[in-house]
Structure 1
Amino acid sequence: MARTYFGTDGIRGRANGILTPELALRVGMAAGFVFHRGEHRHRVVIGKDTRLSGYMIENALVAGFTSVGMDVLLLGPMPTPAVAMLTHSMRADLGVMISASHNPFDDNGIKLFGPDGYKLSDAIESEIEDLINTDMSSRLAQPAQMGRAKRLESVHARYIEFAKRTLPRNQSFEGIRVVVDCANGAGYRVAPEALWELGCEVIAIGDKPDGFNINHEVGSTAPEALMAKVREVRADIGIALDGDADRVLIVDEKGHLVDGDQLMAVVAESFQDEGRLTRAGIVATVMSNLGLERHLAGRGLSLVRTPVGDRYVLERMRADGYNVGGEQSGHIILSDYSTTGDGLVAALQVLAMVQRRQKPVSEVCHCFDPLPQILKNVRYKKGRPLEDDGVIKAIAAAELKLNSHGRLLIRPSGTEPVIRVMGEGDDRALVESVVADVVEAVGSAAAA
C-alpha cells in the first residue's frame, strides 16, 4: 500500500514544502508515542547535517518528543552512522537523523532508528504514519511527565573513537597523503580529525558548511573537485563523502574515480582471504554492474541483489547472514562494525587494505572491468509515466534488442520525482541506443 510520508529512506522533501515544522512536530509526537513503551524514562537522540532548515526541523521534533514525555539528547551536526551508533550506545529508545543525504540544501529529511541502531521496519514506519494524521491530543504527557531537552558536547569524539576501533589497535597511516571531501556536510569535522589522528597527512575540502553549500559541487555526487585536488597535491588517495556521510567514493592517486562496486569487490576479496566472510558472497542492489557479479563468481562468491536502497541491502544481509553489502553509489555496509552504511568506516577499511598490500590505490581498487552501463534520469511533475502505453511498448522493444546481451532497469526514484533508466551490456552502442529510446518515450509521457 502506498504511503504518504515515508519513502525508501525515511521522510524526505523540500523544506517548508513537504517537510514543514508542523509535519516534523507530528512525526515527533507519533514516533515518541510508538516508542514510549515500558516504565523507564524514555530517551531519543537527534542528529542533523548542516542544512539551514535543520534548525527548524530539530526544534519542531524536540517539541513533539517532549510533549509525549520523551527526553531529547541533541547531538548537533553528526553523520547518519554516528546517530545510529549513539542511539544504541546511549541506550536510547529512538534515534533521529535530520538529513536529505545527497540532495541539495533546500531539501531535508527525517530518518528514524530503533534502539538497536537499525533503521525502522516498514511495519513500524506504517504505524507511525497512521498516527501522524490523527488527533494526538489525548496522548500528550501530563505537565510533570513532559520530556527535557539537552545538547550534548563532544559527542563527535565518541564517534571518532568508534571509527578508529574498527582497525587494529596499532594501525597507523603515517606517511599517507589523503584528500577528504566532506561535502560541506555532517562529516566536515569528524572525518578529517579521525584521519589525522590515525597519522594521515590530511587535506580537507568541502569542510566549511554555511547552511547552503551542502553537496554543492563537492562530495560523492560531484567528485570532480576531489579528483582535481588529488592530482594537484599528488595525494595517495581521495575520499568523498556525501551530505550525511553514510556513503563514500574513492579517488585513486591518478585522479580516477572508484565507485561502490569496486569498493565492495576490494572488501569482499580481503575478507575472503582473511576468512572473515560469514557467507560466500555479498549483497548489492539491482544497480550494481554485471562486471562485479562476474568477478565475484570467478572467486566462488555470489552476488545477491535487492531493490535499490541501503535498507533493503541491510535487511537481506541480516536475514541471510551476510556481513558485506552495499550500493554502487557508495553505501558500503560492513555489519561487523555498523548497523547502516558508514562512509568513514568503509574508507578506513579500504585504506588499511591498501597499506597492507603496499600497492597504489589504482591497483588495489581496480578489481574488474565494468560493463558499459548507461544511467539517465527523467524528471516528471505528476502522473505515472511508466504506465503509459508508449513507454510500455518502448521498454518491451528495448528488452528485445538487448535479448541476452545485457539488461535494462527502469524504476521511479524513492526520494524524488525522477524515473531512472539504466541499461548495461557488452556492446556500448547497443546499450546507448536502447536507453535513449526508453528515455525519449518516458520524457514524452512525462510532458503529456
Structure 2
Amino acid sequence: MFGTSGIRGPVGETVTADLALSVGRALGVDADRVVVGRDSRESGELLTDALAAGLRESGTDVLDLGLAATPTVARAVGWEDADAGVSITASHNPPEDNGIKLWQPSGQAFDADRRATISDRVREDAADLQPWDGLGSRREADARERHRAALVDAVDVADPPHVIVDVGNGAGGVTVDALQDLGCHVETLNAQPDGSFPARPSEPTAENCQSLATLVAETDADLGIAHDGDADRMRAVAGDGTYLSGDVTLALFARAAADPGQRVAAPVDTSLAVADHLAEIDVTVERTKVGDVYVAERVAGEGVAFGGEPSGAWIWPDATLCPDGPLAACRLVELAAERPLADRAAEIETYPIHRDSVEVGDKAAVMDRVRDLVADRYDDVQTLDGVRVDLGDAWFLVRASGTQPLVRITAEGREADRAQDALAAARELLETARK
C-alpha cells in the first residue's frame, strides 16, 4: 500500500475517501493527537475530512492546518506535542493524483516498520472505535507563522539578494514569507494555490522551470527558487539564468554544511561529482536507497551533517529530519548573498550523466529479471536499491520507482562516450528483462 514516499495514486482509484478513513482509523489506534495538512489539490479537502473522521472515531484529537507545506506539517508534529502527522499530498505528481504521507514527532517520515503496521491494520480492518462520548476533537491550527520564524532564525543573510520564487501553484508560500522577513526583494511566479497546476507541471524540473530561468536571466535577480506542490522539494536557478542540476545543488549544500571528517548522505543515483567535490575538504558520501525516508534515516546517525537527493529533497538534521524546501530556499539565499551561485557551481567538475524512466507493467518482475541478467554479465554489482553496476570509469543504475509504475535508469561516465556506453548497456538490460 505504501511506497517509499507514502501512499500515492489516482483519486477515485488508488486514493479514495474510504482509504483515507481506514488510514485515519488505523493511525488512531495508538495516537492521541495528530496534525493534518494538505497541499492545494481540491481532492485534498474531502480526503482530509475522511481521514479526520477516522481519527476522531478512534478518540484521537485532530489539529487541522488546512493548506500547508509538507515540511510545515512534519515540523508541527513536534511543535504541537502530537503523536503523528499526516500530509494529504501527491507532492510533485500530476493533478489527478493525491496521497497520504505520515510523519513522526522527530519530523522523520514513518519508517518501514511503522508503514507496515498501518498497512496491516488497514488490511485487517483493525480499529479502536469509541462511543459517542469518547470521540476526538477537531480544531483548526496554524503552524505557518512558526515555520516562518524557524526559517528566519536558521540563516544569516547580511546582504539580502533579489529572489524570484516560483511557488508552482502549491502550498509553499511560507518561503515567500521568510525571504521577505529576511529583507530580500522577492518577486513571485504562480503564487496562487491551484491544485490543477495550470502554470506548469508540479515537479520543478529544468523543462518546467524555463519561465523562471528566463525571468531571472532577463532581470537583475540574483537567483530563482522553485517548489513542487507541497514544497518538500526545492530547485534553483543561478543569477545568470542557469538551472542548477540536483547533483550540483547537493554538492553546494553539502560542502557548506559539513566539516572535515564528517559525512553526508545521498542516494545511489547521485553523481560522482558530489563525492569528488566533497573529497577536497575530507568529507565522505554515504550511499542510501532512493527516497527521502532513507536519507533521513542515515542523516539521523552521528557524524552525518546533511542529506540530500538530486530530485530536490534536502535535509539538515540540526533543523528537522523532513525534506524542507523552504529551509533549502533560505539556505541557498544565504549562500548566494555571500557569493554568486554561478561562481560556486563553476567550481564543481561535472560529468555526463543520463536519467531516464520507462513505464512497465510489473516492475517487480522486471527487476527480478534485471538482477538475474546482471549477475551473469558483471562482477562489480551493488543491490542496495535496484541494481548498480560499476564499470570503472562509468556506472549505471536500474531501479524500480517507489511511487509510480516506472523503472528508472541512471548512467554516468567521466567521459561522454563512456556515459553513453553505460546508458546503452542499462537500456539493453531493461529491454531484455521486459520481453
TM-score, structure 1 as length reference: 0.88
Alignment of 1:396 onto 2:377: yes
Alignment of 1:284 onto 2:270: no
2:231 corresponding residue in structure 1: 245
In 2, Cα distance between equivalents of 1:73 and 1:409: 42
Evaluate the alpha carbon distance shift between residue 440 and residue 388 of structure 1 in structure 2; reply closer, same or farther with a 3 A threshold: same
Alignment of 1:178 onto 2:163: yes
- Residue 20 of structure 2 contacts residue 47 of structure 2 at CA under 8 Å; is this kept in 1? yes
- Deviation of 1:381 (Å): 2.4
- Residue 105 of structure 1 contacts residue 215 of structure 1 at CA under 8 Å; is this kept in 2? no
Amino acid in the other structure paired with 1:417: P
Amino acid in the other structure paired with 1:184: N
- Deviation of 1:252 (Å): 0.5
Evaluate the alpha carbon distance shift between residue 433 and residue 389 of structure 1 in structure 2; reply closer, same or farther with a 3 A threshold: same
- Partner of residue 52 from structure 1, selected from 20, 24, 42: 42
- Partner of residue 28 from structure 1, selected from 24, 29, 43: 24
Amino acid in the other structure paired with 2:400: P
2:385 corresponding residue in structure 1: none
- Residue 216 of structure 2 contacts residue 239 of structure 2 at CA under 8 Å; is this kept in 1? yes
- Deviation of 1:420 (Å): 0.6
2:116 corresponding residue in structure 1: 126
In 2, Cα distance between equivalents of 1:368 and 1:435: 23
SS at match of 2:333: helix
Alignment of 1:442 onto 2:422: no
2:296 corresponding residue in structure 1: 314
Which runs of 5 or more residues in structure 2 are unaligned? 382-388
Evaluate the alpha carbon distance shift between residue 91 and residue 239 of structure 1 in structure 2; reply closer, same or farther with a 3 A threshold: same
1:193 corresponding residue in structure 2: 177
1:295 corresponding residue in structure 2: 277
- Deviation of 1:261 (Å): 2.6
Evaluate the alpha carbon distance shift between residue 270 and residue 116 of structure 1 in structure 2; reply closer, same or farther with a 3 A threshold: closer
In 2, Cα distance between equivalents of 1:13 and 1:252: 34
Amino acid in the other structure paired with 1:392: L
- Deviation of 1:135 (Å): 3.4
SS at match of 1:26: helix
Amino acid in the other structure paired with 1:210: D
Deviations 1:303-346 (A, max 9, x none): 11111111111111213431211111121111111221111111
1:211 corresponding residue in structure 2: 195
- Residue 402 of structure 1 contacts residue 430 of structure 1 at CA under 8 Å; is this kept in 2? no
- Residue 398 of structure 1 contacts residue 437 of structure 1 at CA under 8 Å; is this kept in 2? no
In 2, Cα distance between equivalents of 1:344 and 1:21: 30
2:138 corresponding residue in structure 1: 149
Amino acid in the other structure paired with 1:167: V
- Residue 181 of structure 1 contacts residue 218 of structure 1 at CA under 8 Å; is this kept in 2? no
1:377 corresponding residue in structure 2: 357
- Residue 411 of structure 2 contacts residue 422 of structure 2 at CA under 8 Å; is this kept in 1? yes
- Deviation of 1:388 (Å): 3.8
Q: How many residue pairs were aligned? A: 425
Cα RMSD (Å) of the superposition?
2.5
Deviations 1:234-278 (A, max 9, x none): 311011112211121111111111133323322333345xxxx49
- Residue 218 of structure 1 contacts residue 224 of structure 1 at CA under 8 Å; is this kept in 2? no
Evaluate the alpha carbon distance shift between residue 219 and residue 409 of structure 1 in structure 2; reply closer, same or farther with a 3 A threshold: closer
Alignment of 1:427 onto 2:423: no
- Residue 230 of structure 1 contacts residue 255 of structure 1 at CA under 8 Å; is this kept in 2? yes
**Greater Cα shift, 17-26 or 109-118:** 109-118
